[in-house]
Structure 1
Amino acid sequence: MNDKDLIATLFELESLIRPGDIRSVLTEFGKELIRRFGFRWFRAEVPILNLEVRIPENAEFEDSVEFSGSVLRLHTGGRIDDLILKALRPLFERLDYTIAYSIFYDVMLNVLQFSEDLILLVDEEGRIVEMNRKAREIFGLREKLPEECRSEICEFGGRTYSMGGIKVGKLKVIVGRDITQIKRLEEAAREGEENFRRLAEAIPIAVVVYGKDGWLFMNKAVEELTGYTREDLISRQFREIVPENEREKLEKAIEAWVEGEDVGPYRLTVRRKDGRERRVIVRGASIKWKGKKAAIVTFTDVTEIEEDRERLKELSEMLSLINRILRHDVLNALTSALAYLEFYEDMKDESMLKKVRNSIERSVAIIKDMRAFEELVKKGELKLVDVRKVVEEVARKFDLDIRIRGSGRAFADDGLREVFENILQNAAQHSGSDRVDVTIKEFSDTCEIRIADYGKGIPNAIKDEIFKEGFKFGDTSRTGLGLHFVKKLVERYNGEVWVEDNIPKGAVFVIRLRK
């Protein structure tokens, strides 16, 4: 197979790699690989799913592994040229990443399927595209939401739901939470204090009653929401667990409810005794308590559901990004390589071969940058990590004089390795410096890492631009993704990253993380 045919074959194989049913994708890819390169057999394993694809099924397979990725292992039978294997490796890596994100996406969908909230995906015309198990139980199979459920409050099937939505591209995710118990509380409060107390203590929603004389009642769920005892809350004033900038709004809403005025539900932040914050939806209604005006106020904890919404939005953006990168950028790079190769065959211009190599190297660089993307979507639990230890582990990968001073700890996850690797790779590849100094310093509540090189530096005009997706500068630039991922990861740790001038020359990347 000559170079032109090889690139054309790689291009066609690349088009087979797409999100979808994993077994079908692997089967189609394996059959085409056998047909194109004459392999005797093909075997693919995805251990995390206990999935195996064998082509043909009755072949005698050997144990040799041609490729092992994050979720995928590939085996091929037959003689394979080292050059072809090297050319196939970027495709194998892309196949591995595509399967990994298909698995991740399926897991996210399954998590939403078992949510006790109603979750529906609707298009711009209001048609239901998908809904989870709970929504199907309530609404059954239908084309659109019931008319009575297209506002913030939905009365359906003898129950009451609070409905909220968030735009995700051209679709809208609608989440409904059952608030029937809250409505029953309001009714019980109007009927009598004893019935109200009994019902309020039995439900998992924080309930308080407020009158002209202050707090009249708090149920057990208030303690679970805030971490304080009821006695603590009454003595220290309930308002103190609300951020200062939100207190006035809460006080005015409660006063309005006491007077019987209609104030719609709204979101509020509650600061727990342990310092953590919870997001709640506050609802209120006017009642009579021992013959006097009062307000019943409920605080429904929606922290997890809002995190799910945000995560779904983030996942959609990430999947859109990876689809663009892998199907657009890699495709363009391989198409360019094919065009340059045709120019070379026609003109015998040796400079065309260098451009072919550059295009292929760009494809490889894009796929390598996906490692940072993988850490970005994993979103592991933040924990205190030894920053110096992480820097030392990453520094061993570089043929560069890297000097590390100081130590410290900060909240991060495994993605911190990708942060340091991208910045050090940036110094090694673009700065022209043969030395990098890493200084780690702890402050009262932060850890600062300064990564300084002694190369050509970064112009002031682009210091803010280099962290934007796709921004490229200079002849050695590749994907324009590495520093974008760095910024995204650091922000996930509630940290900051920026670049300064080094003295006398070069650049300093400064990362500030909380501890």
Structure 2
Amino acid sequence: MRGESNNDADEFEAAGREVETVYEAMFLEMDDAVFLVEVAETDDGYEFAFRQNNAAYQEQTGFSEDKMRGQTPRELLGEEQGAAVAANYRRCVERGTTIEYEERLEFPGGTTDWQTKLTPITEDGAITRIVGVARDVTEKKEREREYRRTHRRFQTVLETMSAAAFLKDTDGRYLLMNRACRDLFGADADPVGMTDEELFPRSVAERARADDLQVINGGETVEVEETIPTSAGETSRLTRKSPVYDGEGDVRAICGVSTDITEQKRHEEEIEATRKELRQIIDLVPDLVFVKNHDGEYLLANEATAEAYGKTPEEVEGNSEAEIIPSAEDSAAFRQDDIEVIESGEPKAVGEETLTTAAGETRILQTTKIPYRNPKTGEDAVLGYARDVTDLKAYEETLERQRDSLTLLNQVVRHDIRNQLMVVESYTELLEGSLPDDQSRTHARTVIEAAKQAREITETARDVTDVLLQVGADPSPMSLRDELSEQIAQLRSDQDRTTVSVDGSIPDVTVLADELLEAVFRNLLTNAVVHNDKDVAEIAVSTRVSDDSVRVSIADNGPGIADDHKGDIFQEGEKGLESGGTGVGLYLVKTLVDKYEGDIWVEDNEPTGSVFVVELSIVD
């Protein structure tokens, strides 16, 4: 019996050692951190000391078994952290059962989140040790913390965004509303759990439910413009609804974001009204107005443009030039100009071009084309406006023919009148010498002077006619010396009771004038003789040159001009006392000098008479 007893004991001891070996192997090889804590009861409570840990514990904490063996939690982890750990150990002992909790500890190996499980070991009715198993949940906790951070950020964004956001389940019950959405509906109570039928009129709710079902059944995002009644009145909303899927790919909810587009719609309506108004204005313009792109497609054509092609603006816009313009030659010419403007980026004025209309008429256009950028596409294009000047050109040709006829008539009439006046003057001079008494000779002299004055009037008439018939003639460079010298010589030849002196030489400068410059000097010189009350008219001509102008002064010894009359003598029809002239000579002079961008005025001469001063610009 003793032998059997010893054998049983040996087998029991062997089995114990085998179990211990198995547990030791499990202890050492577990992935979780495993540690053993000794528990000693003291007068103040309990004292805990680390006894053993496995490789996973050492790896996660950075504590070797030798480092931690015999250490209390405070000694190993510090006062604050050690106290919290010891409190959990005490709770396990006091409860006498396994407890589980989560803790965040700082170790030499870093900060670790643990899910810890403590199990008390009882010997002879007393708890002597605690076995701890800690699972590293750092990554899991970090994901949870990141989720919470993300959730808070999402909540912040959701609550501060101006768009109304909501979440509904597939039955149409609201699961979530942000502040903008709650404010929009003026909800006093939390609308979560309510449906559209409880918040909106029936028609609005039915329309919203139809959109929801489209999202649920089709699994697609829908975007709708809708009018929503709110506490502040009706608003236009752009609402986008999207499906929310569960893990198995089924639609479980509807997420919606609704933006207030009331102002946008009002702005769009204003833009549309402005566009229609502008279109109406463009169509009322009698000129052809159009826009074409690089391919020759009409982007815009007003009614005048369309009418020229026998179409409506809608029929022209969107079609190419070649499809619209009846004449292929016209199309090619217009196309070349369009490409030039688009590629150069410079405007182009086409003085005259012809257009064959749908009715077969040939019209003359004056066209301006400028670069234009399409605001919708950003592509380069050309904007053109063309004025139909066919009738104007015909009228100008008529006027040109009339001017030619008037010029010829003026030349013929003036030639015949001058010839007849010269006959009168010549025969009267012959008769003057044979008359018997002074009174008769005086009468003859009056006739001669009148004939001469009439001949001078024909010269003034010629000048006036030339001025009136000038068309588009701009000032050009003229020789001052040639024009002034010629008129002085002519005056000396025509007037036998006149002396003309020139102070120095006439400068050889070129002034801004035209072919009628001679009329300026002829009228001023003649005026000095005709209005002179002396037996012999004394005329003095002088010049003064500055950097950019020259002054010509023509002085006489006549009666002079009163100060209150000097400002009026250049007006049309003004003439001196006892003057037999037409009163247009000085007006003609003033008109020409103004055209030359010069100046003319009159001064007093000493001791008597007047000085007419003409200032003209010098040109190279």
Higher relative contact order (CA 8 A, sep 6+): 1
- TM-score using structure 2 length: 0.32
- TM-score using structure 1 length: 0.37
User: Greater CA radius of gyration, 1 or 2?
Assistant: 2
